[in-house]
Structure 1
Amino acid sequence: MFPVKAAAELSGLTPETLRAWERRHAAVVPHRDGKGRRMYDAAMIERLARLHRLTGRGHPIRDLAGLDDAALDDLLEESRQTGYGGVEELPARMLDAIADYQVDVFDRDLSVAIATLPVSVLVARVVAPLLREVGVRWADGRLAIAQERLVSSLLRARLLSVLNQHPRGHEPRVLFATLPGEPHELGLLGAALHAHEAGLPVLYLGTGLPSAELARVATRLGAAAVAISSVDPGQAREALAGLRELDGLLPPGMPVWVGGANARYLAEALGLARVAAVTDPGALGALGRRLQKARTSRK
């Protein structure tokens, strides 16, 4: 049994979306524990994950909520056959290639996906499932450490090439980085790609930047915003200290967006006006438009 926050994370939703789907559409009916708190079993989470995948492919939740699980599976199978040329099978096929050290096959499939898929589809239906499957195969022994590192390095190289293809002039940029002690990079790269696709000028700085150095770069460039990823729960306390230091060093009015598994905790614990948790990559476009509107009004 899982509480709201865990159920949302496991199914790929935000807690707000999960609550809205329950309240407005009765997509699932949760259990209640002794204190009246909503709890979700594994079958409910799997159903929510199905609904999430189908809404991501354009099906309105109002049309899906009344369907049973078998009908949802039929819709998923139909979309697998018609949507983007069988992209659902791509992550498993790519990892099978890595298991045999067929680097050229993995790289070719990844290159074709990057060239043919919208960034939102690339991240949601290739990169994210690929990373989840890496974790599963590493945990059950089907993937060696060297193979996991190989996947990460190939993904990093190809995704960075997308960001570097089309520099966006001299507009104030959004800086993407992690603080010291946070080496997990692929989520940060995915967020930077979403921002790039939404039209934001992006400067990707990578992992492990001290707060003082990040503030120095942001100030020198007159950055539009600073985006930080924090994934490792063991680094949450250090991230709090780093963000407090960053807040004291950045110019007034420069927002800090925090993503990753620790985002909500960090934003709530800090309680700083400039620090906001961004758990939905799709929100980056709206944040960018808000920034642009604010800058225009000041001119």
Structure 2
Amino acid sequence: MYSIKVIAEESGIKPATLRKWEERYGFPMPVRNPNGARSYTDQDLSNLKSIKAMIDQGLRPSKIFSEKLVDTSTKKNTGLFAEEVEKIYSLAKEGLFEESLELLKSFSNSLSTLKFVETICAPLAVKVGEGWASGDIPVYTEHAISEQIHAVLTIDQSCFYDTDAPLAILCTLSNEYHTLGLKMANAILNDAGCRTIYLGAGLPVSEITAAAVSFQPEYVGISITTNTSPRIICEQVALLRSKLAPEISILLGGAGCSYLRELPDGSEVISELTKIYELI
């Protein structure tokens, strides 16, 4: 996910223009966090680059959008399983939690771990966050759906018996208590053959450092949302980097990463889940 500043820089389209297009043409239609900050997808960026190229060739935005010269449909942006994600959300919204859980389980059993996380869990998590922020669902429903996703992201224990497999410890930083992204990363790492130790939410740098000394991992994975100040996150990551052994890599993931600047060497943002398979 990209902030409006980042996507403006990458696409060459000014933030004011992006806001105008959103109001006038319904594109791009960013995800909003509870504070109202916009976040954009890779598909949004790809479409915006195509639109910018057409504008540079002399076409007007009104012509591009009215004649649909670029496919900016919601269906394309929300993924191949948009209807299925909507069904799970609707069942939970109606209080049919057993039915929504069974549907989640059916997709977990029929899809690969990567596809399940990318096409079901991640879009559902975004939709749930939007639903809570807009008042479409109450807090207890948001919690219930999140816990259901947690429940079906079961750990593949087979990699734990391979002592030669790399090890990652996973957590969030102090004052960050959203762990759904961390659970998804945990599932993908296990599927990639990486052992994991899940430390959970809200750990200060001193505790993460102590865990790293104790377990000697190859990686420290940290999930970041947009709820914490980017400046504070960068300060904490820099402090953590200074405390860890140089051979330990810091892996950062989550929507909040698009706001980060000047990360220290030895820390890497994982913008795509497939990158985990290449890394491990």
TM-score normalised according to structure 1 size? 0.68
Aligned to 1:120: 114
Q: Within the alignment, does 1:198 sit opposite 2:201 as a pair?
A: no
Q: Within the alignment, does 1:92 sit opposite 2:86 as a pair?
A: yes
1:111 aligned to which of 81, 101, 105:
105
Supply the distance in 2 between the matched residues of 1:217 and 1:92 (Cα, whole angstroms): 39
Q: Within the alignment, does 1:52 sit opposite 2:43 as a pair?
A: yes
Per the alignment, in what secondary structure is the counterpart of residue 207 of structure 1?
strand
TM-superposed CA distance for 1:164, in Å, is: 4.6
TM-superposed CA distance for 1:240, in Å, is: 3.2
Supply the distance in 1 between the matched residues of 2:232 and 2:41 (Cα, whole angstroms): 36
Aligned to 1:6: 4
Per the alignment, in what secondary structure is the counterpart of residue 262 of structure 1?
helix
Name the Cα RMSD after superposition.
3.7
2:124 aligned to which of 125, 130, 151:
130
User: Structure 2 matches for 1:1-299, cutoff 5 A?
Assistant: 5-6=3-4, 19=11, 30=13, 39=18, 41-42=21-22, 43=25, 44-45=27-28, 52=43, 69=68, 72=71, 87-159=81-153, 161=154, 163-168=155-160, 169-170=162-163, 171-266=165-260, 268=262, 271-288=263-280
**Residue identity in the other structure for 1:6:** I
Q: Which is further off, 221-230 or 272-281?
A: 272-281
Supply the distance in 1 between the matched residues of 2:15 and 2:145 (Cα, whole angstroms): 41
Supply the distance in 1 between the matched residues of 2:193 and 2:84 (Cα, whole angstroms): 27
Supply the distance in 2 between the matched residues of 1:96 and 1:197 (Cα, whole angstroms): 29
Question: Can you give the 5+ residue segments of structure 1 that lack an aligned partner in the other structure?
Answer: 10-14, 23-29, 56-60, 289-299
Per the alignment, in what secondary structure is the counterpart of residue 166 of structure 1?
helix
Per the alignment, in what secondary structure is the counterpart of residue 221 of structure 2?
strand
Q: Deviations over 1:55-89 (max 9, x none)?
A: 9xxxxx99xx9996488489x68xx9xx6xxx331
Contact 1:181 1:235 in 2 (8 A): no
TM-superposed CA distance for 1:110, in Å, is: 0.6
TM-superposed CA distance for 1:225, in Å, is: 0.9
TM-superposed CA distance for 1:234, in Å, is: 3.2
Q: Deviations over 1:244-281 (max 9, x none)?
A: 3322321122111122233254451xx42112222222
**Residue identity in the other structure for 1:52:** Q
Q: Deviations over 1:141-182 (max 9, x none)?
A: 3311111111111211221x2x25434322330222101100
**Residue identity in the other structure for 1:236:** P
Q: Deviations over 1:6-53 (max 9, x none)?
A: 2876xxxxx89x65xx9xxxxxxx5797xxxx8572245259x89939
* RCO higher in structure (CA 8 A, sep ≥6): 2
4+ aligned runs moved over 6 Å, structure 1: 65-68
Question: Can you give the 5+ residue segments of structure 2 that lack an aligned partner in the other structure?
Answer: 31-39, 55-63
Supply the distance in 2 between the matched residues of 1:194 and 1:208 (Cα, whole angstroms): 21
TM-score normalised according to structure 2 size? 0.72
Supply the distance in 2 between the matched residues of 1:224 and 1:51 (Cα, whole angstroms): 29
Contact 1:172 1:222 in 2 (8 A): no
Contact 1:51 1:72 in 2 (8 A): no
Inter-CA distance 129–7: structure 2 relative to 1 (3 Å threshold) = farther
TM-superposed CA distance for 1:217, in Å, is: 1.8
TM-superposed CA distance for 1:139, in Å, is: 3.3
Supply the distance in 2 between the matched residues of 1:51 and 1:149 (Cα, whole angstroms): 27
Supply the distance in 1 between the matched residues of 2:111 and 2:5 (Cα, whole angstroms): 29
Contact 2:6 2:258 in 1 (8 A): no
Inter-CA distance 121–203: structure 2 relative to 1 (3 Å threshold) = same
Contact 1:267 1:275 in 2 (8 A): no
Supply the distance in 2 between the matched residues of 1:124 and 1:218 (Cα, whole angstroms): 29
Equivalent residue pairs, number: 247
Supply the distance in 2 between the matched residues of 1:176 and 1:150 (Cα, whole angstroms): 23
Inter-CA distance 139–213: structure 2 relative to 1 (3 Å threshold) = closer
Inter-CA distance 99–244: structure 2 relative to 1 (3 Å threshold) = same
Inter-CA distance 237–50: structure 2 relative to 1 (3 Å threshold) = closer
Aligned to 2:58: none
TM-superposed CA distance for 1:223, in Å, is: 0.5
User: Percent identity at matched positions?
Assistant: 21
